[in-house]
Every structure is written in C-alpha cells, then in structure tokens.
C-alpha cells in the first residue's frame, strides 16, 4: 500500500528494470579515473618498451660491432699490403 502511495508500483518494477538495463552504461568521467592504477599500467607499458628496445640492441650487436670496426678502418684509410696472394 505504501509503495503505491509513494509512487512505487510493484507491478511496473519489471518494466522499469528492463528499461534501465537496456540503457547504455554511463560513460566514465576523466576525474573518476584511478590515477594510481593508471600510473601502474603506464609503468608496466614503459618497462615492456624498454625491455623490447634493449633486446633489439643486444640482438643487433653482432651486426653493429663489425660495422663499427669497418667504419673505423675506412675512416683511417686502412689498407692491407701483401697478404696471402698467389704469385702471378
């Protein structure tokens, strides 16, 4: 009886519940974001990026070191005289 007096009709609760669930969830506001969780996720992403960059550099070392040696030798105009050549 009090439900009807105060405007809550139990006969319509099912329809209201279906209508409320059919509506889109309210979009989260930017000031409601958990900054600690955001910074933790950001730190994890940065750590993955650094690990990827470090792995790339380590795997590239077998190519980089000889290239730097050859670049240095070319910069000082290094030539090999003689060596193991066959006589004419």
pTM tops 0.75: no
The answer to whether the beta carbons of residues 71 and 65 sit under 8 Å apart is no
Question: Tokens 């077998």 identify what position?
Answer: 62
Q: How many helices (H) and strands (E) does the chain have?
A: 3, 0
Residue 71 has pLDDT above 60, yes or no: yes
The per-residue pLDDT for 81 is: 79
pLDDT in tens, 18-65: 555 566 778 878 778 889 999 999 999 999 999 999 999 999 999 999
* pLDDT at residue 32, as a whole number: 83
Helix, strand, or coil (residue 25): coil
Domain membership of residue 7 (yes or no) is no
Helix (H) or strand (E) holding 3: helix 2-5
pLDDT band at 67 (very low <50, low <70, confident <90, very high): very high
Residue 20 lies in a domain: no
Does residue 53 belong to any structural domain of this protein? Answer: yes
Number of domains comprising the chain: 1
Long-range CB pairs of 74-83, under 8 A, 24+ apart, other chains included: none
């Amino acid at each position: 009886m009090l439900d009807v007096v105060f405007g809550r009709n139990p006969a319509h609760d099912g329809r209201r519940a279906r209508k409320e669930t059919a509506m889109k969830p309210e979009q989260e506001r930017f000031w409601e974001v958990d900054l600690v969780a955001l910074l933790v996720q950001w730190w994890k992403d940065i750590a993955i990026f650094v690990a990827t960059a470090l792995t790339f550099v380590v795997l590239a070392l077998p190519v980089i070191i000889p290239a730097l040696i050859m670049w240095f030798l070319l910069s000082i105009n290094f030539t090999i005289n003689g060596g193991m050549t066959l006589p004419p």
